[in-house]
Structure 1
Amino acid sequence: MSKHDPILLFASRLLPKQKAIDASALYAWCRRLDEITDSDTTQLSIKQQHLIDWQERFVQLYNGNPVDNMDAALYQCLQRHESLTDEPFLDMIAGMKADAVDNRTISTMDELEEYAYQVAGTVGVMLLPLLGDNVTLSKEPAIALGKAIQLINILRDASVDAAMGRIYLPQDMLEAEGVANVDVLGLKSSVGYCNVVEKVSKRAHVLLIEAEMGKSTLPGVGPVFVQIIVELYRGYLVRLEEMGFDNLNIGGERVKVSALQKIMAALRALKDI
Protein backbone atom coordinates (compact mmCIF):
# COMPACT_ATOMS: atom_id res chain seq x y z
CA MET A 1 0.00 0.00 0.00
CA SER A 2 2.32 2.72 -1.27
CA LYS A 3 0.30 5.82 -0.33
CA HIS A 4 0.06 5.07 3.39
CA ASP A 5 3.12 2.94 3.95
CA PRO A 6 5.33 3.26 5.96
CA ILE A 7 3.80 5.41 8.71
CA LEU A 8 0.94 3.11 9.72
CA LEU A 9 3.01 -0.03 9.24
CA PHE A 10 5.71 1.28 11.57
CA ALA A 11 3.04 2.30 14.06
CA SER A 12 1.33 -1.10 14.00
CA ARG A 13 4.66 -2.77 14.77
CA LEU A 14 6.13 -0.37 17.33
CA LEU A 15 3.18 0.80 19.42
CA PRO A 16 1.84 -0.98 22.52
CA LYS A 17 -0.64 -3.76 21.79
CA GLN A 18 -3.98 -1.89 21.93
CA LYS A 19 -2.66 1.13 20.04
CA ALA A 20 -1.05 -1.20 17.50
CA ILE A 21 -4.47 -2.80 16.97
CA ASP A 22 -5.94 0.66 16.40
CA ALA A 23 -3.15 1.53 13.94
CA SER A 24 -3.91 -1.70 12.09
CA ALA A 25 -7.58 -0.67 11.85
CA LEU A 26 -6.54 2.66 10.33
CA TYR A 27 -4.19 0.85 7.96
CA ALA A 28 -6.94 -1.54 6.84
CA TRP A 29 -9.33 1.34 6.10
CA CYS A 30 -6.69 3.20 4.08
CA ARG A 31 -5.73 0.01 2.25
CA ARG A 32 -9.31 -0.65 1.20
CA LEU A 33 -9.59 2.92 -0.05
CA ASP A 34 -6.40 2.33 -2.05
CA GLU A 35 -7.94 -0.78 -3.57
CA ILE A 36 -10.79 1.33 -4.94
CA THR A 37 -8.46 3.89 -6.51
CA ASP A 38 -6.07 1.23 -7.85
CA SER A 39 -8.80 -1.03 -9.25
CA ASP A 40 -8.54 -2.22 -12.85
CA THR A 41 -11.74 -0.54 -13.99
CA THR A 42 -11.05 1.86 -16.86
CA GLN A 43 -14.35 3.71 -16.44
CA LEU A 44 -13.49 6.62 -14.21
CA SER A 45 -17.16 7.39 -13.63
CA ILE A 46 -17.48 3.98 -11.98
CA LYS A 47 -14.42 4.65 -9.83
CA GLN A 48 -15.82 8.03 -8.81
CA GLN A 49 -19.09 6.37 -7.81
CA HIS A 50 -17.21 3.77 -5.76
CA LEU A 51 -15.45 6.60 -3.93
CA ILE A 52 -18.77 8.33 -3.27
CA ASP A 53 -20.14 5.04 -1.93
CA TRP A 54 -17.05 4.64 0.27
CA GLN A 55 -17.51 8.14 1.65
CA GLU A 56 -21.16 7.41 2.48
CA ARG A 57 -20.09 4.16 4.10
CA PHE A 58 -17.54 6.01 6.25
CA VAL A 59 -20.16 8.53 7.37
CA GLN A 60 -22.37 5.59 8.33
CA LEU A 61 -19.47 4.02 10.24
CA TYR A 62 -18.63 7.31 11.97
CA ASN A 63 -22.24 7.60 13.12
CA GLY A 64 -22.09 4.19 14.77
CA ASN A 65 -23.31 1.85 12.02
CA PRO A 66 -20.30 -0.10 10.69
CA VAL A 67 -20.95 -2.47 7.79
CA ASP A 68 -18.45 -5.24 8.54
CA ASN A 69 -15.82 -6.35 11.06
CA MET A 70 -13.08 -4.11 9.66
CA ASP A 71 -15.39 -1.11 9.79
CA ALA A 72 -16.29 -2.12 13.35
CA ALA A 73 -12.60 -2.20 14.30
CA LEU A 74 -12.19 1.35 13.01
CA TYR A 75 -15.32 2.48 14.84
CA GLN A 76 -13.93 1.06 18.08
CA CYS A 77 -10.67 2.91 17.40
CA LEU A 78 -12.61 6.15 16.93
CA GLN A 79 -14.48 5.52 20.19
CA ARG A 80 -11.21 5.05 22.08
CA HIS A 81 -9.71 8.25 20.69
CA GLU A 82 -12.21 11.10 20.86
CA SER A 83 -9.81 13.61 19.27
CA LEU A 84 -9.75 11.49 16.10
CA THR A 85 -12.41 13.23 14.00
CA ASP A 86 -13.85 12.47 10.59
CA GLU A 87 -11.89 15.31 8.93
CA PRO A 88 -8.72 13.44 7.87
CA PHE A 89 -10.75 10.51 6.50
CA LEU A 90 -12.96 12.76 4.39
CA ASP A 91 -9.94 14.79 3.26
CA MET A 92 -8.23 11.59 2.12
CA ILE A 93 -11.27 10.54 0.11
CA ALA A 94 -11.32 14.00 -1.50
CA GLY A 95 -7.72 13.50 -2.61
CA MET A 96 -8.56 10.12 -4.11
CA LYS A 97 -11.51 11.63 -5.98
CA ALA A 98 -9.17 14.21 -7.49
CA ASP A 99 -7.06 11.36 -8.88
CA ALA A 100 -9.97 9.58 -10.56
CA VAL A 101 -9.86 11.68 -13.73
CA ASP A 102 -8.34 11.41 -17.19
CA ASN A 103 -4.98 13.06 -17.84
CA ARG A 104 -4.38 14.00 -14.19
CA THR A 105 -2.37 17.21 -13.78
CA ILE A 106 -1.74 19.69 -10.98
CA SER A 107 -1.54 23.43 -11.60
CA THR A 108 0.66 24.85 -8.84
CA MET A 109 2.94 23.89 -5.97
CA ASP A 110 0.23 24.96 -3.51
CA GLU A 111 -2.20 22.56 -5.17
CA LEU A 112 0.41 19.79 -5.07
CA GLU A 113 0.97 20.31 -1.35
CA GLU A 114 -2.77 20.28 -0.70
CA TYR A 115 -3.03 16.98 -2.58
CA ALA A 116 -0.03 15.63 -0.65
CA TYR A 117 -1.80 16.53 2.59
CA GLN A 118 -5.02 14.86 1.46
CA VAL A 119 -3.51 11.51 0.51
CA ALA A 120 -0.62 11.29 2.98
CA GLY A 121 -0.55 14.12 5.53
CA THR A 122 -3.94 12.90 6.72
CA VAL A 123 -2.32 9.66 7.84
CA GLY A 124 -0.21 11.54 10.37
CA VAL A 125 -3.32 13.34 11.64
CA MET A 126 -5.12 10.01 12.03
CA LEU A 127 -2.22 8.52 13.95
CA LEU A 128 -1.55 11.36 16.40
CA PRO A 129 -4.38 10.53 18.85
CA LEU A 130 -2.94 7.02 19.16
CA LEU A 131 0.46 8.38 20.16
CA GLY A 132 -0.53 10.70 22.99
CA ASP A 133 -2.27 13.84 24.10
CA ASN A 134 -0.22 16.58 22.36
CA VAL A 135 -2.33 16.41 19.21
CA THR A 136 -2.39 20.16 18.56
CA LEU A 137 1.33 20.57 19.26
CA SER A 138 2.30 17.63 17.03
CA LYS A 139 -0.13 18.17 14.14
CA GLU A 140 2.02 20.34 11.88
CA PRO A 141 5.14 18.10 12.05
CA ALA A 142 2.93 15.07 11.38
CA ILE A 143 1.39 16.74 8.35
CA ALA A 144 4.85 17.82 7.17
CA LEU A 145 6.07 14.22 7.32
CA GLY A 146 3.13 12.91 5.33
CA LYS A 147 3.45 15.64 2.72
CA ALA A 148 7.19 14.98 2.37
CA ILE A 149 6.57 11.27 1.88
CA GLN A 150 4.00 11.94 -0.83
CA LEU A 151 6.15 14.50 -2.67
CA ILE A 152 9.07 12.09 -2.65
CA ASN A 153 6.89 9.20 -3.81
CA ILE A 154 5.66 11.40 -6.66
CA LEU A 155 9.27 12.04 -7.66
CA ARG A 156 10.05 8.33 -7.35
CA ASP A 157 7.03 7.35 -9.47
CA ALA A 158 7.27 10.00 -12.19
CA SER A 159 7.94 7.59 -15.06
CA VAL A 160 5.30 5.12 -13.83
CA ASP A 161 2.71 7.89 -13.53
CA ALA A 162 3.62 9.29 -16.96
CA ALA A 163 2.91 5.88 -18.50
CA MET A 164 -0.61 6.20 -17.05
CA GLY A 165 -1.08 9.73 -18.38
CA ARG A 166 -0.49 11.41 -15.01
CA ILE A 167 1.80 14.38 -14.37
CA TYR A 168 2.00 15.49 -10.75
CA LEU A 169 4.74 18.09 -11.15
CA PRO A 170 3.15 21.57 -11.11
CA GLN A 171 2.14 22.79 -14.55
CA ASP A 172 3.22 26.38 -13.90
CA MET A 173 6.72 25.24 -12.94
CA LEU A 174 7.01 23.01 -16.01
CA GLU A 175 5.78 25.80 -18.28
CA ALA A 176 8.27 28.26 -16.76
CA GLU A 177 11.06 25.85 -17.73
CA GLY A 178 9.66 25.34 -21.23
CA VAL A 179 8.69 21.71 -20.56
CA ALA A 180 5.72 20.36 -22.54
CA ASN A 181 3.42 17.68 -21.14
CA VAL A 182 3.87 15.61 -24.29
CA ASP A 183 7.58 15.34 -23.52
CA VAL A 184 6.98 14.24 -19.93
CA LEU A 185 4.44 11.65 -21.05
CA GLY A 186 6.97 10.46 -23.63
CA LEU A 187 9.62 10.13 -20.88
CA LYS A 188 11.78 12.77 -22.57
CA SER A 189 13.84 14.47 -19.92
CA SER A 190 15.54 17.86 -20.22
CA VAL A 191 17.51 20.36 -18.17
CA GLY A 192 14.30 22.30 -17.52
CA TYR A 193 12.45 19.18 -16.39
CA CYS A 194 15.27 18.23 -14.01
CA ASN A 195 15.22 21.76 -12.60
CA VAL A 196 11.57 21.30 -11.64
CA VAL A 197 12.32 17.93 -10.03
CA GLU A 198 15.13 19.56 -8.06
CA LYS A 199 12.83 22.33 -6.80
CA VAL A 200 10.18 19.86 -5.63
CA SER A 201 12.94 17.75 -4.08
CA LYS A 202 14.18 20.75 -2.10
CA ARG A 203 10.67 21.42 -0.81
CA ALA A 204 10.38 17.80 0.30
CA HIS A 205 13.73 18.15 2.08
CA VAL A 206 12.44 21.19 4.00
CA LEU A 207 9.32 19.25 5.01
CA LEU A 208 11.48 16.37 6.29
CA ILE A 209 13.41 18.84 8.43
CA GLU A 210 10.14 20.25 9.82
CA ALA A 211 9.01 16.73 10.72
CA GLU A 212 12.39 15.93 12.26
CA MET A 213 12.42 19.11 14.35
CA GLY A 214 8.91 18.40 15.63
CA LYS A 215 9.37 14.76 16.55
CA SER A 216 10.27 15.60 20.15
CA THR A 217 6.61 16.54 20.75
CA LEU A 218 5.62 12.91 20.21
CA PRO A 219 5.46 10.56 23.21
CA GLY A 220 6.71 7.00 23.47
CA VAL A 221 8.20 5.46 20.34
CA GLY A 222 6.92 8.31 18.15
CA PRO A 223 10.31 10.02 17.75
CA VAL A 224 11.95 6.71 16.84
CA PHE A 225 9.79 5.80 13.88
CA VAL A 226 9.58 9.42 12.67
CA GLN A 227 13.38 9.54 12.55
CA ILE A 228 13.55 6.18 10.75
CA ILE A 229 11.10 7.40 8.09
CA VAL A 230 12.94 10.73 7.74
CA GLU A 231 16.26 8.97 7.20
CA LEU A 232 14.77 6.52 4.70
CA TYR A 233 13.09 9.20 2.60
CA ARG A 234 16.10 11.49 2.82
CA GLY A 235 17.95 8.60 1.19
CA TYR A 236 15.57 8.74 -1.78
CA LEU A 237 16.34 12.44 -2.19
CA VAL A 238 20.06 11.70 -2.14
CA ARG A 239 19.51 9.05 -4.82
CA LEU A 240 17.56 11.54 -6.96
CA GLU A 241 20.40 14.04 -6.68
CA GLU A 242 22.90 11.35 -7.69
CA MET A 243 20.75 10.77 -10.80
CA GLY A 244 20.92 14.47 -11.68
CA PHE A 245 17.19 14.70 -10.82
CA ASP A 246 16.38 12.78 -14.00
CA ASN A 247 13.60 10.46 -12.85
CA LEU A 248 12.22 9.74 -16.33
CA ASN A 249 15.07 7.82 -17.95
CA ILE A 250 14.97 4.83 -15.62
CA GLY A 251 13.04 2.33 -17.71
CA GLY A 252 9.59 3.12 -16.34
CA GLU A 253 10.49 2.04 -12.80
CA ARG A 254 10.50 3.69 -9.39
CA VAL A 255 13.53 5.44 -7.96
CA LYS A 256 14.88 2.96 -5.41
CA VAL A 257 17.49 2.57 -2.71
CA SER A 258 19.08 -0.74 -1.81
CA ALA A 259 18.17 -2.90 1.17
CA LEU A 260 21.55 -2.05 2.71
CA GLN A 261 20.81 1.66 2.36
CA LYS A 262 17.47 1.14 4.13
CA ILE A 263 19.22 -0.67 6.99
CA MET A 264 21.79 2.11 7.25
CA ALA A 265 18.99 4.68 7.36
CA ALA A 266 17.40 2.83 10.28
CA LEU A 267 20.73 2.65 12.11
CA ARG A 268 21.34 6.38 11.62
CA ALA A 269 17.89 7.08 13.01
CA LEU A 270 18.47 4.96 16.09
CA LYS A 271 21.84 6.64 16.65
CA ASP A 272 20.21 10.07 16.60
CA ILE A 273 17.47 9.22 19.13
Structure 2
Amino acid sequence: MTDALERQARVTISRGSKSFAVASRVFDARTRRGATLLYTWCRHCDDVVDGQVLGHRDVPASASDTGEALAELRRCTALAYQQPLLQDPPFAALQEVVRTFAIPARHAQAHLDGFAMDVAGREYRTFDDTLEYCYHVAGVVGIMMCHIMGPTEPAVLDRAADLGLAFQLSNIARDVVEDAQAGRCYLPVDWLEQAGLNPRNHADQAHRQALAGVVARLLESAETYYASALKGLPALPARSAWAVATAHGIYREIGLHVRALGPAAWDQRVSTSTSDKLRLLLRGAYQARASRGDGVAAAQGRPATLWQRPGRA
Protein backbone atom coordinates (compact mmCIF):
# COMPACT_ATOMS: atom_id res chain seq x y z
CA MET A 1 0.00 0.00 0.00
CA THR A 2 1.24 3.50 -0.84
CA ASP A 3 0.94 5.90 2.08
CA ALA A 4 0.51 9.68 2.00
CA LEU A 5 4.21 10.35 2.50
CA GLU A 6 5.20 8.22 -0.48
CA ARG A 7 2.41 9.67 -2.64
CA GLN A 8 3.68 13.18 -1.95
CA ALA A 9 7.25 12.07 -2.63
CA ARG A 10 6.22 10.66 -6.00
CA VAL A 11 4.54 13.93 -6.94
CA THR A 12 7.65 15.82 -5.91
CA ILE A 13 10.00 13.72 -7.99
CA SER A 14 7.71 13.69 -11.04
CA ARG A 15 7.56 17.49 -11.03
CA GLY A 16 11.06 18.24 -9.81
CA SER A 17 13.14 15.83 -11.92
CA LYS A 18 11.64 13.97 -14.86
CA SER A 19 15.05 12.42 -15.54
CA PHE A 20 15.41 10.83 -12.11
CA ALA A 21 11.71 9.94 -12.04
CA VAL A 22 12.14 7.76 -15.13
CA ALA A 23 15.20 5.99 -13.76
CA SER A 24 13.69 5.47 -10.30
CA ARG A 25 10.75 3.47 -11.67
CA VAL A 26 13.13 0.59 -12.37
CA PHE A 27 14.10 0.12 -8.71
CA ASP A 28 12.45 -2.62 -6.65
CA ALA A 29 9.67 -1.26 -4.42
CA ARG A 30 11.75 -0.89 -1.23
CA THR A 31 14.62 0.88 -2.99
CA ARG A 32 12.25 3.07 -5.02
CA ARG A 33 10.52 4.22 -1.85
CA GLY A 34 13.86 5.06 -0.22
CA ALA A 35 15.07 6.92 -3.31
CA THR A 36 11.92 9.00 -3.69
CA LEU A 37 11.83 9.89 0.00
CA LEU A 38 15.49 10.91 -0.09
CA TYR A 39 14.81 13.01 -3.20
CA THR A 40 11.96 14.78 -1.38
CA TRP A 41 14.33 15.99 1.33
CA CYS A 42 17.08 16.94 -1.14
CA ARG A 43 14.62 18.85 -3.33
CA HIS A 44 13.20 20.69 -0.32
CA CYS A 45 16.65 21.78 0.87
CA ASP A 46 17.60 22.99 -2.60
CA ASP A 47 14.35 24.91 -3.02
CA VAL A 48 14.61 26.57 0.38
CA VAL A 49 18.13 27.89 -0.27
CA ASP A 50 17.46 28.89 -3.89
CA GLY A 51 14.04 30.47 -3.40
CA GLN A 52 12.47 27.94 -5.76
CA VAL A 53 9.46 25.67 -5.96
CA LEU A 54 10.36 22.19 -7.26
CA GLY A 55 13.44 23.51 -8.98
CA HIS A 56 11.80 26.51 -10.65
CA ARG A 57 12.79 30.04 -9.74
CA ASP A 58 10.35 31.79 -7.42
CA VAL A 59 11.43 34.83 -5.42
CA PRO A 60 15.17 35.05 -4.55
CA ALA A 61 15.72 35.42 -0.84
CA SER A 62 18.14 37.84 0.78
CA ALA A 63 21.47 36.63 2.14
CA SER A 64 20.22 36.95 5.71
CA ASP A 65 17.06 35.00 4.88
CA THR A 66 18.97 32.17 3.24
CA GLY A 67 21.42 32.03 6.13
CA GLU A 68 18.57 31.63 8.57
CA ALA A 69 16.89 29.10 6.30
CA LEU A 70 20.07 27.03 6.10
CA ALA A 71 20.40 27.04 9.89
CA GLU A 72 16.81 25.77 10.14
CA LEU A 73 17.53 23.05 7.57
CA ARG A 74 20.49 21.90 9.64
CA ARG A 75 18.41 21.89 12.81
CA CYS A 76 15.54 19.90 11.29
CA THR A 77 17.92 17.51 9.56
CA ALA A 78 19.61 16.79 12.90
CA LEU A 79 16.19 16.13 14.43
CA ALA A 80 15.57 13.44 11.81
CA TYR A 81 18.25 11.39 13.56
CA GLN A 82 16.55 11.71 16.94
CA GLN A 83 13.76 9.61 18.42
CA PRO A 84 10.51 11.65 18.14
CA LEU A 85 8.71 11.19 14.83
CA LEU A 86 8.66 14.30 12.64
CA GLN A 87 5.54 15.56 10.87
CA ASP A 88 6.98 17.99 8.31
CA PRO A 89 6.96 15.85 5.12
CA PRO A 90 10.52 16.49 3.84
CA PHE A 91 12.06 15.72 7.22
CA ALA A 92 9.67 12.87 7.95
CA ALA A 93 10.84 11.43 4.62
CA LEU A 94 14.47 11.83 5.60
CA GLN A 95 13.80 10.34 9.02
CA GLU A 96 12.32 7.19 7.53
CA VAL A 97 15.18 6.83 5.05
CA VAL A 98 18.00 7.24 7.56
CA ARG A 99 16.36 4.84 10.00
CA THR A 100 15.55 2.21 7.40
CA PHE A 101 18.91 2.28 5.64
CA ALA A 102 21.25 3.40 8.45
CA ILE A 103 22.57 6.44 6.58
CA PRO A 104 25.17 8.23 8.75
CA ALA A 105 24.29 11.76 9.83
CA ARG A 106 27.58 13.08 8.45
CA HIS A 107 26.37 12.44 4.90
CA ALA A 108 23.16 14.44 5.35
CA GLN A 109 25.08 17.34 6.90
CA ALA A 110 27.72 17.13 4.13
CA HIS A 111 24.92 17.65 1.61
CA LEU A 112 23.87 20.79 3.44
CA ASP A 113 27.50 21.98 3.30
CA GLY A 114 27.00 22.41 -0.44
CA PHE A 115 24.09 24.77 0.13
CA ALA A 116 26.23 26.61 2.64
CA MET A 117 28.67 27.33 -0.21
CA ASP A 118 25.80 28.92 -2.13
CA VAL A 119 24.75 31.00 0.86
CA ALA A 120 28.34 32.19 1.36
CA GLY A 121 28.68 33.10 -2.33
CA ARG A 122 31.84 31.05 -2.61
CA GLU A 123 34.13 31.54 -5.60
CA TYR A 124 35.40 28.43 -7.36
CA ARG A 125 38.92 29.29 -8.42
CA THR A 126 40.05 25.87 -9.66
CA PHE A 127 38.39 22.78 -11.10
CA ASP A 128 39.04 21.02 -7.80
CA ASP A 129 37.02 23.76 -6.09
CA THR A 130 34.15 23.11 -8.49
CA LEU A 131 34.40 19.37 -7.82
CA GLU A 132 34.25 20.00 -4.08
CA TYR A 133 30.95 21.82 -4.58
CA CYS A 134 29.69 19.02 -6.86
CA TYR A 135 30.55 16.45 -4.22
CA HIS A 136 28.48 18.15 -1.55
CA VAL A 137 25.39 18.83 -3.65
CA ALA A 138 25.42 15.58 -5.65
CA GLY A 139 28.31 13.21 -4.93
CA VAL A 140 27.31 12.63 -1.33
CA VAL A 141 23.74 11.98 -2.51
CA GLY A 142 25.18 9.13 -4.56
CA ILE A 143 26.77 7.80 -1.39
CA MET A 144 23.44 7.97 0.44
CA MET A 145 21.80 6.19 -2.49
CA CYS A 146 24.35 3.38 -2.10
CA HIS A 147 23.12 2.87 1.45
CA ILE A 148 19.59 2.58 0.06
CA MET A 149 20.64 0.17 -2.71
CA GLY A 150 22.79 -1.95 -0.37
CA PRO A 151 26.54 -1.86 -1.12
CA THR A 152 28.59 0.40 1.14
CA GLU A 153 32.16 -0.74 0.45
CA PRO A 154 34.47 2.29 0.07
CA ALA A 155 35.35 1.42 -3.54
CA VAL A 156 31.65 1.32 -4.47
CA LEU A 157 31.00 4.60 -2.67
CA ASP A 158 33.84 6.13 -4.71
CA ARG A 159 32.02 5.17 -7.92
CA ALA A 160 28.72 6.51 -6.59
CA ALA A 161 30.36 9.83 -5.72
CA ASP A 162 31.91 9.95 -9.20
CA LEU A 163 28.46 9.60 -10.74
CA GLY A 164 27.14 12.44 -8.60
CA LEU A 165 30.07 14.62 -9.68
CA ALA A 166 29.37 13.84 -13.33
CA PHE A 167 25.65 14.58 -12.93
CA GLN A 168 26.35 17.95 -11.34
CA LEU A 169 28.91 18.92 -13.98
CA SER A 170 26.23 18.27 -16.61
CA ASN A 171 23.78 20.37 -14.60
CA ILE A 172 26.28 23.22 -14.33
CA ALA A 173 26.83 23.14 -18.09
CA ARG A 174 23.11 23.24 -18.82
CA ASP A 175 22.21 25.89 -16.23
CA VAL A 176 25.25 28.19 -16.45
CA VAL A 177 23.32 31.18 -17.80
CA GLU A 178 20.39 30.69 -15.43
CA ASP A 179 22.82 30.41 -12.52
CA ALA A 180 24.55 33.62 -13.61
CA GLN A 181 21.21 35.42 -13.58
CA ALA A 182 20.89 34.33 -9.95
CA GLY A 183 24.37 35.68 -9.20
CA ARG A 184 26.16 32.33 -9.13
CA CYS A 185 29.06 30.89 -11.09
CA TYR A 186 30.31 27.34 -10.61
CA LEU A 187 32.78 27.32 -13.51
CA PRO A 188 36.45 27.44 -12.45
CA VAL A 189 37.58 31.06 -12.47
CA ASP A 190 40.99 29.96 -13.76
CA TRP A 191 39.33 28.48 -16.84
CA LEU A 192 37.21 31.58 -17.40
CA GLU A 193 40.23 33.86 -17.21
CA GLN A 194 42.09 31.70 -19.72
CA ALA A 195 39.16 32.29 -22.09
CA GLY A 196 39.13 36.05 -21.46
CA LEU A 197 36.08 35.89 -19.20
CA ASN A 198 35.28 36.38 -15.53
CA PRO A 199 32.43 35.42 -13.16
CA ARG A 200 30.68 38.73 -13.83
CA ASN A 201 30.50 38.64 -17.62
CA HIS A 202 30.84 34.98 -18.64
CA ALA A 203 27.13 34.54 -19.39
CA ASP A 204 26.70 37.72 -21.44
CA GLN A 205 25.26 37.13 -24.89
CA ALA A 206 28.35 38.65 -26.48
CA HIS A 207 30.57 36.00 -24.87
CA ARG A 208 28.59 32.87 -25.71
CA GLN A 209 31.23 31.48 -28.07
CA ALA A 210 33.94 31.73 -25.40
CA LEU A 211 31.56 30.36 -22.78
CA ALA A 212 30.79 27.38 -25.01
CA GLY A 213 34.51 26.59 -25.08
CA VAL A 214 34.78 26.62 -21.29
CA VAL A 215 31.66 24.49 -20.94
CA ALA A 216 32.97 21.99 -23.51
CA ARG A 217 36.08 21.65 -21.35
CA LEU A 218 33.89 21.06 -18.30
CA LEU A 219 31.88 18.37 -20.08
CA GLU A 220 35.01 16.67 -21.37
CA SER A 221 36.21 16.47 -17.77
CA ALA A 222 32.82 15.03 -16.76
CA GLU A 223 33.35 12.12 -19.15
CA THR A 224 36.11 10.72 -16.93
CA TYR A 225 33.71 10.63 -13.98
CA TYR A 226 30.91 9.11 -16.04
CA ALA A 227 33.30 6.38 -17.18
CA SER A 228 34.47 5.72 -13.61
CA ALA A 229 30.89 5.53 -12.34
CA LEU A 230 30.00 2.69 -14.70
CA LYS A 231 32.60 0.54 -12.96
CA GLY A 232 30.32 0.50 -9.93
CA LEU A 233 27.42 -1.23 -11.68
CA PRO A 234 28.55 -4.82 -10.96
CA ALA A 235 28.39 -4.19 -7.21
CA LEU A 236 24.72 -3.16 -7.32
CA PRO A 237 21.63 -5.39 -7.25
CA ALA A 238 20.41 -6.00 -10.81
CA ARG A 239 17.46 -3.61 -10.78
CA SER A 240 19.47 -0.91 -9.05
CA ALA A 241 22.19 -1.30 -11.67
CA TRP A 242 19.55 -0.82 -14.37
CA ALA A 243 18.18 2.32 -12.69
CA VAL A 244 21.65 3.79 -12.18
CA ALA A 245 22.73 3.00 -15.75
CA THR A 246 19.56 4.69 -17.02
CA ALA A 247 20.15 7.82 -14.96
CA HIS A 248 23.79 7.79 -16.11
CA GLY A 249 22.67 7.79 -19.74
CA ILE A 250 20.01 10.49 -19.33
CA TYR A 251 22.20 13.00 -17.49
CA ARG A 252 25.17 12.35 -19.75
CA GLU A 253 23.00 12.95 -22.80
CA ILE A 254 22.00 16.36 -21.45
CA GLY A 255 25.67 17.30 -21.46
CA LEU A 256 26.15 15.89 -24.94
CA HIS A 257 23.26 18.04 -26.19
CA VAL A 258 24.75 21.14 -24.56
CA ARG A 259 28.13 20.48 -26.12
CA ALA A 260 26.65 19.84 -29.58
CA LEU A 261 24.60 23.05 -29.51
CA GLY A 262 27.59 25.23 -28.63
CA PRO A 263 26.68 28.92 -28.16
CA ALA A 264 22.99 28.13 -28.83
CA ALA A 265 22.80 25.78 -25.83
CA TRP A 266 21.32 28.45 -23.58
CA ASP A 267 18.66 29.83 -25.94
CA GLN A 268 16.28 27.40 -24.25
CA ARG A 269 16.57 24.80 -21.53
CA VAL A 270 18.21 21.62 -22.81
CA SER A 271 16.43 18.39 -21.93
CA THR A 272 15.98 14.84 -23.19
CA SER A 273 12.79 13.86 -25.01
CA THR A 274 10.48 11.03 -24.01
CA SER A 275 11.85 8.94 -26.88
CA ASP A 276 15.41 9.70 -25.71
CA LYS A 277 14.54 8.53 -22.20
CA LEU A 278 12.98 5.32 -23.53
CA ARG A 279 16.06 4.62 -25.65
CA LEU A 280 18.34 5.26 -22.66
CA LEU A 281 16.14 3.11 -20.42
CA LEU A 282 16.65 0.21 -22.82
CA ARG A 283 20.36 0.90 -23.12
CA GLY A 284 20.60 1.02 -19.33
CA ALA A 285 19.08 -2.46 -19.18
CA TYR A 286 21.74 -3.73 -21.58
CA GLN A 287 24.56 -2.05 -19.62
CA ALA A 288 23.29 -3.44 -16.32
CA ARG A 289 23.02 -6.96 -17.71
CA ALA A 290 26.46 -6.76 -19.34
CA SER A 291 27.97 -5.68 -16.01
CA ARG A 292 26.80 -8.81 -14.18
CA GLY A 293 29.93 -10.78 -15.00
CA ASP A 294 32.42 -8.24 -13.62
CA GLY A 295 32.00 -8.29 -9.87
CA VAL A 296 35.41 -6.77 -9.06
CA ALA A 297 35.21 -3.75 -11.36
CA ALA A 298 34.38 -1.22 -8.64
CA ALA A 299 37.50 -2.04 -6.65
CA GLN A 300 39.87 -1.88 -9.57
CA GLY A 301 41.21 0.69 -11.93
CA ARG A 302 39.90 4.00 -10.59
CA PRO A 303 42.35 6.56 -12.02
CA ALA A 304 44.55 8.13 -9.37
CA THR A 305 44.10 11.51 -11.05
CA LEU A 306 40.40 11.64 -10.17
CA TRP A 307 39.28 13.92 -7.36
CA GLN A 308 39.29 12.17 -3.97
CA ARG A 309 36.12 12.52 -1.89
CA PRO A 310 36.66 13.77 1.67
CA GLY A 311 36.51 11.37 4.58
CA ARG A 312 36.78 8.29 2.40
CA ALA A 313 35.54 5.41 4.55
1:43 is aligned, of 62, 65, 73, to: 62
2:273 is aligned, of 252, 255, 258, to 258
Secondary structure (helix, strand or coil) at the match of 1:162 reads helix
**CA shift for structure 1 position 73:** 4.2
Alignment correspondent of 2:106: 87
Equivalent residue runs for 1:1-273 within 5 Å: 5=17, 9=21, 12-39=24-51, 40-68=59-87, 70=89, 71-82=91-102, 84-101=103-120, 105-189=123-207, 191-244=209-262, 246=263, 250-251=266-267, 253-272=268-287, 273=289
Identity rate, percent: 26
Q: 2 CA distance for matches of 1:101 and 1:247? A: 31
Structure 1 portions without partners, runs of 5+: none
8 Å Cα contact 1:62/1:86 also seen in 2? yes
Letter in 1 for 2:162: A
User: How far off its partner does 1:191 sit?
Assistant: 4.8
Offset of 1:134 from its aligned partner?
4.1
- Cα deviation, 1:69-92, whole Å, max 9, x if unaligned, reads 63344323322323x101221111
- Partners of 2:201 and 2:88 lie apart in 1 by 47
Matched to 2:97, the amino acid is C
Note if contact 1:145-1:207 (Cα within 8 Å) is conserved in structure 2: yes
AA paired with 1:262? K
Q: SS of the counterpart of 2:206?
A: coil
**Gap regions ≥5 residues in structure 2:** 1-11, 52-58, 290-313
Q: TM-score, normalised by structure 1?
A: 0.86
Whole-angstrom distance in 2 between the partners of 1:217 and 1:226: 12
Alpha-carbon distance between aligned partners in 2 of 1:10 and 1:122, rounded to the nearest angstrom: 21
| Structure 2 CA distance for partners of 1:121 and 1:171, relative to 1, 3 Å | same
Q: 2:226 touches 2:248 (CA, 8 Å); kept in 1?
A: yes
Work out the number of aligned pairs and report it.
267
Q: 1:112 & 1:173 partners in 2: Cα distance?
A: 11
Contact 1:108/1:172 (<8 A) preserved: yes
Superposition deviation, residue 120 in structure 1:
0.9
Q: Distance in 1 between matches of 2:117 and 2:238?
A: 36
1:116–1:146 CA contact under 8 A, matched in 2: yes
> How big is the shift at 1:230?
1.8
CA change 1:72–1:236 in 2 (3 A) is closer
Distance 2:123 2:18 in 1: 25
Preserved contact between residue 25 and residue 243 of structure 2 (Cα < 8 Å): no
CA 1:191–1:76: 2 relative to 1, 3 Å: closer
- Counterparts of 2:83 and 2:19, CA distance in 1: 27
Structure 1 CA distance for aligned equivalents of residues 152 and 61 of structure 2: 43
In the TM superposition, structure 1's runs of 4+ consecutive aligned residues that sit over 4 Å from their partners are 4-8
Q: Following the alignment from structure 2 to structure 1, what is the Cα–Cα distance between the partners of residues 139 and 93?
A: 22
TM-score, normalised via structure 2 length: 0.76
RMSD across aligned positions (CA): 2.5
Q: Do the aligned residues in 2 keep the contact of 1:159 with 1:187 (CA within 8 Å)?
A: no
TM superposition shift of 1:10: 5.5
